[in-house]
Amino acid sequence: MSVESLKCKECGTSYELDASYVCENCFGPLEVAYDYSGLDAAEVKRRIQAGSQGIWRYSDFLPFKGRASDPLEPGLTPLLKADRLAERLGVDAEIWIKNDAANPTHSFKDRVVAVAVAKAQELGFDTVACASTGNLANAVAAHAAAAGLKSYVFVPANLEEQKLLATGVYGTNLVGVRGNYDDVNRLCTQLAETRPWAFVNVNLRPYYAEGSKTLAYETVEQLGWKLPDRVVSPIASGSLFTKLGRGFQEWLDLGLVEGKQPVFNGAQAEGCSPVATAFAEGWEVCKPQRPETIAKSLAIGDPADGPYAVEHARKTGGGVDSVTDQEIREGIKLLAETTGIFTETAGGVTVGVLRKLAERGELAAGERVVVYITGEGLKTLDATRDTFQMHEIDPSLESFESEFRQEVAA
């Protein structure tokens, strides 16, 4: 597939493939447009299967003329069947966990950043930057270091310590902004006008967002070239959610896979649920909120792709739900106890919504559900604190036995 232009998602105006992201006619978002004609599905499939062990195996669907590469190639993360989780939820659906914490900086953001940094280099930038809720900060700092580029990473100053430490270590210019993510994002939108930098999720956002499609492609490939019946994915800006849909659609259109779009269920935290609210109210726009949740990586009160996420959930017969902070903690624990996967708060949100769907009886027997776990539990340790107790004993057999007498006897 060859990349053609940038195209406005609202009015369709075309633009050159440079560092721009806003339509000058209607202020809508720009998206990468490709020319599908002339692609042979069988040939593409062979190219994919003979490709690298990561996202660049899908180069036909990424916004580069040639085949890009990078030293920290993300992707091909495990897709695991979670029978014990299904059992705990009391459903006969097939539950699969796509563990995207298994990326170089432990979140799905490595996918989008790998694409954005490769594009920044192609366009001749020497500095990359971003507005981040944490995971993106880690990824931008790391991929910039690997590529030998300078970087500026802007985050809310009150971010989890683990995410600050896992960013600063790469030698980036880490900027903690006294405000919430939406303040950081506004500042970066303004800075992108004056600084000659590649802001991965501002002026390079059309390319960056394309990286999320690789999660859809991998899912199909790992299911033996089959589509899931349903996906459950977290929603922050709504970009991942909508690009998963675009990824599945491209392969359907090309005949690489047969069937139809999965049902899309979005997951938000109750303390930051502009998309879930818009879905519930039947709105076409999202009313911004001031986030108040432990799921900081999803704490975007003014989601750029919110309207498209609502639209996609509706179109596929799915929905967007939200869960409380307590349900997020329970979701983290449920996943850990049944699969051995320790996810961050965003994953707790996603599993929390999966549980809600199960409780409402929405998961049919035999239905194949893929749950996207986008980040690593070690980055949000506070969420796990006080959710279990340690047994403290003296270093003696007596002490152990007195503590565990009942269990040993049994």
Give the footprint of other proteins on this chain (CB under 8 A): 10, 20-30, 131, 181-183, 185-186, 188-190, 192-193, 199, 201-202, 205, 236-239, 284-285, 287-288, 290, 300, 302-305, 307
Residues 213, 244: Cα–Cα separation, whole Å: 5
Minimum distance of other proteins from residue 188's CB (angstroms):
7
Report in angstroms the alpha-carbon separations of 180 from 158, 249, 285, 386: 8, 34, 21, 26
Minimum distance of other proteins from residue 125's CB (angstroms):
17
Cβ-based nearer residue to other proteins, 132 or 384:
132
Minimum distance of other proteins from residue 48's CB (angstroms):
27
Minimum distance of other proteins from residue 369's CB (angstroms):
24
Nearest alpha-carbon partner for 5 in 27, 211, 15: 15
Q: Residue 87 half-sphere exposure, CB side, CA atoms within 13 Å?
A: 7
Side chain identity, residue 58: Y
Residues 21, 200: Cα–Cα separation, whole Å: 11
Cβ-based nearer residue to other proteins, 61 or 108:
108
Minimum distance of other proteins from residue 310's CB (angstroms):
11
Cβ-based nearer residue to other proteins, 95 or 188:
188
Cβ-based nearer residue to other proteins, 163 or 329:
163
Residues 409, 213: Cα–Cα separation, whole Å: 53
Minimum distance of other proteins from residue 90's CB (angstroms):
34
Question: At residue 185, what are phi and psi to the nearest 5 degrees?
Answer: -65, -40
Minimum distance of other proteins from residue 91's CB (angstroms):
31
Q: Are 379 and 344 in contact (CB under 8 A)?
A: yes
Cβ-based nearer residue to other proteins, 228 or 274:
274
**Buried b or exposed e, range 151-163, using 16+ CB within 10 angstroms:** bbbbbbeebbebb
Cβ-based nearer residue to other proteins, 1 or 192:
192
Residues 82, 370: Cα–Cα separation, whole Å: 10
β-strands 94-99, 79-81 pairing: antiparallel
Cβ-based nearer residue to other proteins, 188 or 216:
188
